């Protein structure tokens, strides 16, 4: 295996084919299940969605699991179902994808950003406490890259202040925090099965909760506000009349999507072990490079190993993050930027009067972060190509 002391020849690591960032792993079982679903004639929300929900509920230990068409839908329904409304505030992190804040905005409330811890990249509970006002209705922590947030501190604030806790666990399906599975900690937890996630239904999401009242609303509001879902209306047990009790949304998952998910769930921990091995190889190979590697997981937690992020500082590495990304692209290695801090984007900057300097830790990460390929679909050759390309780009790349 090529290691940290192996000589590198500039240009040697260029692949013939692009290594796609977030490459999904789809096996024959998923393909056969999708074909069977197509032949069955039941393509919409039906028995396979219910099976997927049960598998996910059992995996997380949550009392209720509701499959939806995206994590964005789950976040929005969590807000609406909990009564978040115009004039309310929801405290969250700027170091996240725009869907986190947009779900708050679509509920009519205001996202209130607070800075993150520079090492964990997760929301800082001390700053959360200072941001609470009489208008605060909820806290929305994001388990960044698969690292569980400091949930004990966040839950303590929520209990003392009477606030809802909605977790954005788009990165953290396999996460465990102090013996508790992510998905069975806060009031509502929202997951993503987008194509780049640890398991995928191409598009899709899940909301989990221990609260029956919220589960009933999320399920109902996610399908037009109807009192019966499509499967119950048209199943073999006979047509069931429904009533519309809320002007809901079209957020339901389909059996086609669930056909992928039910087989991916069977491999979730095996694939996590594979990503853990890739993570270990990266850590060892990059130990001597002028970059900041991800911090180790906190004690008594399990990191979901969703994103392997390097921080590339121009002064230390003698190359900017953007130039480093271009160097990798030239070597046909796909990468991601997770994330440009939300308060630096035009909309949030203008809508909420944010400026550079408001959240220095998030900005530090935003300016330097780059995510490397990390997927159970990667071969040993793929992993080695990433390692070689990173080392070559940092040690021999054009400046």
pLDDT at 308 over 50: yes
CATH of the domain spanning 28-266: 3.40.640.10
Enumerate the domain spans of the chain.
28-266, 268-396
pLDDT at 173 over 80: yes
User: From CA 159, how far away is CA 18, in angstroms rounded?
Assistant: 49
User: From CA 48, how far away is CA 39, in angstroms rounded?
Assistant: 14
pTM over cut 0.85: yes
Task: Write the pLDDT tens digit of every residue in 211-246.
Answer: 999 999 999 999 999 876 555 655 556 666 788 889
Residue 99, both tokens: 């869907």
User: From CA 219, how far away is CA 231, in angstroms rounded?
Assistant: 13
pLDDT at 7 over 60: no
User: From CA 242, how far away is CA 225, in angstroms rounded?
Assistant: 10
Active site residue 14: no
Neighbouring CB atoms inside 10 A of 292's CB total 19
CATH of the domain spanning 268-396: 3.90.1150.10
Task: Calculate the CA 300 to chain-centre distance.
Answer: 21
Round to the nearest angstrom and report the end-to-end CA distance of the chain. 28
pLDDT at 112 over 60: yes
pLDDT at 27 over 50: yes
What Å distances lie between residue 219 and 85, 208, 209, CA to CA? 19, 11, 11
Q: CB–CB of 338/332 below 8 Å? A: no
Axis-axis angle for helices 268-285, 380-396 (nearest 10)? 30
* Phi then psi dihedrals of residue 295, to 5 deg: -70, 150
* Active-site residue, selected from the candidate residues 48, 197, 217, 340: 197
């Amino acid at each position: 295996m090529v290691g940290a002391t192996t000589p590198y020849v500039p240009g040697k690591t260029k692949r013939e084919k692009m290594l796609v960032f977030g490459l999904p792993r789809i096996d024959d079982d998923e393909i056969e299940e999708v074909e069977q679903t197509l032949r069955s004639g039941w393509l919409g929300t039906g028995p396979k969605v219910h099976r997927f929900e049960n598998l996910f509920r059992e995996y997380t230990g949550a009392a209720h699991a509701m499959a939806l068409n995206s994590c964005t839908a789950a976040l929005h329904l969590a807000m609406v179902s909990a009564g978040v409304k115009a004039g309310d505030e929801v405290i969250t992190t700027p170091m996240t994808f725009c869907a986190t804040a947009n779900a708050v905005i679509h509920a009519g409330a205001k996202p209130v950003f607070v800075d993150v811890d520079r090492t964990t990249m997760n929301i800082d509970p001390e700053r959360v406490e200072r941001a609470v006002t009489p208008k605060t209705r909820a806290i929305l922590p994001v388990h960044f890259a698969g690292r569980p947030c400091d949930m004990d501190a966040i839950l303590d604030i929520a209990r003392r202040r009477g606030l809802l806790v909605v977790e954005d666990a788009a990165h953290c399906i396999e996460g465990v925090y102090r013996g508790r599975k992510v998905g069975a900690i806060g009031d509502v937890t929202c997951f993503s099965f987008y194509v780049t996630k640890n398991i995928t239904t191409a598009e899709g999401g899940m909301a989990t909760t221990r609260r029956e009242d919220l589960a009933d609303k999320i399920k109902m509001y996610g399908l037009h506000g109807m009192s019966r879902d499509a499967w119950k209306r048209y199943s073999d047990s006979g047509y069931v009349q429904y009533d519309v009790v809320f002007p809901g949304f079209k957020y339901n998952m389909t059996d086609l999507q669930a056909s992928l998910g039910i087989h991916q769930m069977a491999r979730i921990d095996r694939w996590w072990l594979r990503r853990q091995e890739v993570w270990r190889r990266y850590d060892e190979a990059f130990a001597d490079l002028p970059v900041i590697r991800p911090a180790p997981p906190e004690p008594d937690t399990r990191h979901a190993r969703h994103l392997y992020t390097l921080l590339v500082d121009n002064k230390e590495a003698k190359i900017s993050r953007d130039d480093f990304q271009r160097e990798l692209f030239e070597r046909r290695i796909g990468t991601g930027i997770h994330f440009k801090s939300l308060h630096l984007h035009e909309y949030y900057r203008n809508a909420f009067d944010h400026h550079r300097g408001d959240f220095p830790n998030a900005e530090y990460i935003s300016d330097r972060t780059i995510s490397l390929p990390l997927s159970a679909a990667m071969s040993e050759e793929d992993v080695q190509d990433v390692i070689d390309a990173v080392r070559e780009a940092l040690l021999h790349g054009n400046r």
